[in-house]
């Protein structure tokens, strides 16, 4: 059945056909600054590097300057009196972040950077015990993910060479099949504490079956987390419905938030009230209503609640949050 939607997204048969499809679905190119194609046949580049760094939204500069101006005019009072007050700034980003990953706002927070967030999450969700110690990743995982899980194994007194399982494609193939992962979990699941895979692999571009792998991992008794750096803003996600335990992502690729921009975290709501999950704590982990009483002990029992994320780098908000905010509105 041919519909206008399917017609607009089918592969082009040739250059003329590609131009016609572009006219039918022009996209959002006008919302971004595209580098010029100096000496080329067209004024702008064909930018294919969004997997590394997304383009700058045209709205970013004005939003950054507005917050910098508020800092200039208000100083410390900007925390509460700026047009977009800095103290609750993260609340402006919660709903857009949740929408992007198919989550509930209570399950989502924007904070820190990707690998920092993965470590904070593994503090809570990698709990090796008895024979259940293994961490399953793909062999072609992004190197920083590999470094992170290996260091977590060492942190728990384990040998990372024995603890970290790197799943490889079959001989002659370049990508993992879903059954390569699910079959391993069915056979070895009792030894697996954590499955941590990339939703879209940075090297091959493969989109893994997040729902099926999550179900297999949880059925085996493991915790299942996802690095969504190359998936968020790129493919549809439904983390809540897929029962994912946790996920983390950056925002400077397909979310176009710029170098050094804030990252995101998802924790499924079934974990939010669990006081037995260990976590690190900081300024943001106590109750907002009593935060400035400056008590030495957090007013809340230790638990994951993304609205009160355990540790968040406050000083980055003025220069990073406006980029996140306008990027989630630019397409």
The tens-digit pLDDT sequence of the chain (331 residues) is 344 444 445 566 788 888 888 888 878 889 999 999 988 888 999 999 999 999 999 999 998 899 999 999 999 999 999 998 988 888 889 999 999 999 999 999 999 999 999 999 999 999 999 999 999 999 999 999 999 999 999 999 999 999 999 999 999 999 999 999 999 999 999 999 999 999 999 999 999 999 999 999 999 999 999 999 999 999 999 999 999 999 999 999 999 999 989 999 999 999 998 888 888 888 777 777 787 888 888 776 555 666 555 445 444 555 555 555 555 665 5
> In whole angstroms, what is the distance from residue 226 CA to residue 245 CA?
9
With tokens 């729902």, the residue in question is 211
Mention every residue, 6+ apart, whose C-beta is less than 8 A from residue 31. 57, 58, 59, 330, 331
Residue 6 has a pLDDT of: 45
- Write down the CATH number for the domain with range 79-327: 3.40.640.10
The model's pTM is 0.88
Residue 149 has a pLDDT of: 98
Cα torsion 317, 322, 323, 327: sign = positive
Q: How many CB atoms lie within 10 A of CB 189?
A: 20
Residue 327 has a pLDDT of: 57
Which structure tokens are listed for 188? 């070895």
Residue 95 has a pLDDT of: 94
Nearest residue to 286 via CA among 297, 276, 272, 274: 297
> In whole angstroms, what is the distance from residue 123 CA to residue 66 CA?
37
Mention every residue, 6+ apart, whose C-beta is less than 8 A from residue 80. 87
Q: Where in the chain is the domain with CATH 3.40.640.10?
A: 79-327
Q: Using the CB atoms, write b or e for 210-230: b if 16+ within 10 Å.
A: beebbbbbbebebbbbbbbbb
Report the length, in residues, of the chain: 331
Which structure tokens are listed for 313? 């780098």
């Amino acid at each position: 059945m041919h519909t206008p939607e399917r017609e607009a997204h089918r592969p082009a048969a040739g250059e003329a056909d590609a131009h016609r499809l572009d006219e039918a679905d022009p996209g959002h190119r006008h919302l971004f600054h595209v580098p010029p194609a100096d000496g080329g046949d067209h004024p702008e580049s064909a930018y294919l590097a969004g997997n590394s760094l997304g383009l700058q939204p045209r709205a970013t500069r004005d939003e950054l300057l507005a917050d910098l101006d508020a800092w200039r005019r208000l100083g410390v009072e900007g925390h509460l009196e700026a047009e977009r007050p800095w103290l609750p700034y993260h609340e402006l980003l919660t709903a857009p972040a949740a929408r992007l990953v198919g989550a509930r706002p209570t399950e989502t927070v924007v904070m820190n950077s990707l690998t920092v967030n993965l470590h904070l999450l593994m503090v809570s969700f990698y709990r090796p015990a008895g024979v259940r110690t293994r961490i399953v990743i793909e062999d072609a995982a992004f190197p920083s993910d590999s470094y992170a899980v290996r260091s977590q194994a060492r942190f728990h007194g384990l040998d990372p060479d024995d603890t970290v399982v790197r799943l490889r494609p079959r001989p002659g193939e370049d990508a993992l099949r879903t059954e390569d992962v699910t079959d391993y979990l069915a056979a070895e699941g009792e030894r697996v504490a954590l499955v941590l895979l990339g939703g879209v692999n940075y090297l091959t571009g493969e989109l893994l079956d997040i729902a099926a792998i999550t179900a297999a991992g949880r059925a085996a008794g493991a915790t299942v987390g996802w690095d969504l750096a190359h998936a968020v803003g790129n493919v549809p996600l439904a983390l809540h419905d897929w029962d994912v335990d946790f996920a983390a992502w950056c925002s400077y690729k397909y979310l176009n938030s710029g170098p050094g921009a804030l990252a995101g975290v998802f924790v499924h709501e079934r974990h939010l009230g669990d006081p037995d999950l260990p976590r690190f704590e900081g300024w943001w982990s106590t109750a907002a209503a009593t935060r400035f009483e400056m008590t030495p002990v957090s007013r809340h029992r230790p638990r994951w609640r993304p609205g009160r994320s355990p540790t968040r780098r406050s000083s980055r908000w003025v220069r990073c949050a406006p980029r996140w905010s306008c990027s989630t509105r630019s397409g």
